[in-house]
């Protein structure tokens, strides 16, 4: 597969009261077209900062980020945040279609896309409901549907399921995998969940403790399609999660 995102010698520093703080140090990473890449690491290692730089929301101090555009008529990326980011004054349908509306799409063409992703995320019967009438899990479904409906080349996801209970998280993980499996968008996904990383990823990138550096890159060989709970019966899954914990544990245990 061809490279979609190339990060070369990226460093990010912030000015602090006691001097310069280095959040990320000499990051080198390539994400292939259509790859589901998951980034894990200790709290404060710069995972979200890295995602925000790729999204163009922040600028690196050194190095470069190259995102190869393959479809000029589509958005380069869409970001899904941990916090619920649906608009409370819009219905579910209006929220899902928001990105398309901002791109100037109207009428039947937009409605067909919105209906398609409402159906894929099991939101069709909630299309005319407002967010205050939905659970937290349903609101995150709306965020995922909106991200896919916008048609980006790259999905940037910053712990989108972290605040959900285990059942809703498993449901949304499986829905995300199902939609991704059909469309093969490039996904860069941040999580603290080692089990979530194992379930979702083609490859897991482990960052070190602050300042964040690439500590390891681990290909995930578990077969697809994957069921969140069924996968846990696979011995390779358990070995992978344990290996991830060993890598993270080296970073978080007191020295």
94 with 146, same domain: the answer is: yes
71 with 162, same domain: the answer is: yes
Give the CA distances from residue 80 to residues 18, 112, 142, in Å, rounded to whole numbers and listed in that order.
Answer: 33, 22, 10
65 with 187, same domain: the answer is: yes
The residue out of 122, 151, 180 marking a domain boundary is 151
Whether the pLDDT of residue 255 is over 70: the answer is no
147 with 208, same domain: the answer is: no
Total domains in the chain come to 2
Which helix (H) or strand (E) segment holds residue 197: the answer is helix 194-200
162-210 confidence digits (pLDDT tens):
888 899 899 999 999 999 999 999 999 999 999 999 999 999 999 999 8
The residue out of 151, 183, 205 marking a domain boundary is 151
Q: Rg of the Cα trace of the chain?
A: 19
- 114 phi, psi to nearest 5 deg: -60, -45
92 with 216, same domain: the answer is: no
Task: Please compute the mean of the pLDDT values over residues 81-85 and round it to a whole number.
Answer: 78
93 with 202, same domain: the answer is: no
Is the model more confident about 84 or about 103?
A: 103
137 with 169, same domain: the answer is: no
Range of lowest pLDDT (63-72, 78-87, 111-120)? 78-87
111 with 232, same domain: the answer is: no
18 with 46, same domain: the answer is: yes
User: What is the C-alpha to C-alpha distance for residues 112 and 117, in angstroms, rounded to an integer?
Assistant: 9
The residue out of 105, 129, 151 marking a domain boundary is 151
Q: Which domain holds residue 116?
A: 83-151
147 with 70, same domain: the answer is: no
64-77 confidence digits (pLDDT tens):
999 998 887 888 89
69 with 178, same domain: the answer is: yes
67 with 186, same domain: the answer is: yes
For the full predicted model, state whether its pTM sits above 0.75.
yes
Burial (CB < 10 A; 0-12, 13-18, 19+), residue 246, is exposed
User: Helices marked H in 86-219 — which ranges?
Assistant: 92-96, 98-102, 107-120, 136-149, 166-183, 194-200
Residue 210: closest CA among 1, 37, 64, 41:
41
User: What is the C-alpha to C-alpha distance for residues 47 and 54, in angstroms, rounded to an integer?
Assistant: 11
Q: Can you give the CATH number for the domain in which 244 is found?
A: 3.40.50.300
User: What is the C-alpha to C-alpha distance for residues 84 and 77, in angstroms, rounded to an integer?
Assistant: 18
């Amino acid at each position: 597969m061809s490279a979609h995102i190339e990060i070369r010698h990226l460093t990010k520093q912030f000015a602090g009261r006691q001097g310069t703080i280095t959040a990320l140090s000499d990051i080198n990473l390539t994400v292939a077209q259509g790859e589901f890449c998951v980034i894990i690491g200790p709290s404060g290692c710069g995972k979200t900062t890295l995602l925000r730089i790729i999204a163009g929301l922040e600028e690196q101090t050194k190095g470069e980020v190259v995102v190869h555009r393959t479809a000029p008529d589509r958005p380069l990326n869409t970001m899904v945040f941990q916090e619920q980011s649906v608009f409370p004054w819009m219905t579910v349908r209006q929220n899902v279609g928001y990105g398309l509306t901002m791109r100037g799409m109207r009428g039947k063409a937009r409605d067909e896309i919105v209906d398609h992703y409402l159906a894929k995320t099991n939101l069709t019967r909630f299309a005319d409901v407002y967010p205050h009438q939905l659970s937290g899990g349903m609101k995150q479904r709306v965020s995922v549907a909106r991200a896919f409906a916008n048609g980006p080349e790259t999905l940037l996801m910053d712990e989108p399921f972290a605040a959900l209970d285990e059942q809703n998280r498993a449901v949304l993980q499986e829905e995300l995998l199902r939609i991704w499996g059909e469309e093969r968008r490039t996904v860069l996904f941040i999580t603290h969940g080692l089990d979530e990383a194992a379930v979702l990823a083609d490859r897991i990138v482990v960052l070190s403790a602050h300042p964040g550096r690439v500590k390891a890159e681990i290909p995930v060989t578990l077969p697809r399609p994957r069921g969140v709970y069924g996968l846990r019966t696979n011995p390779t899954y358990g070995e992978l999660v344990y290996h991830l914990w060993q890598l993270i544990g080296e970073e978080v245990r007191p020295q």
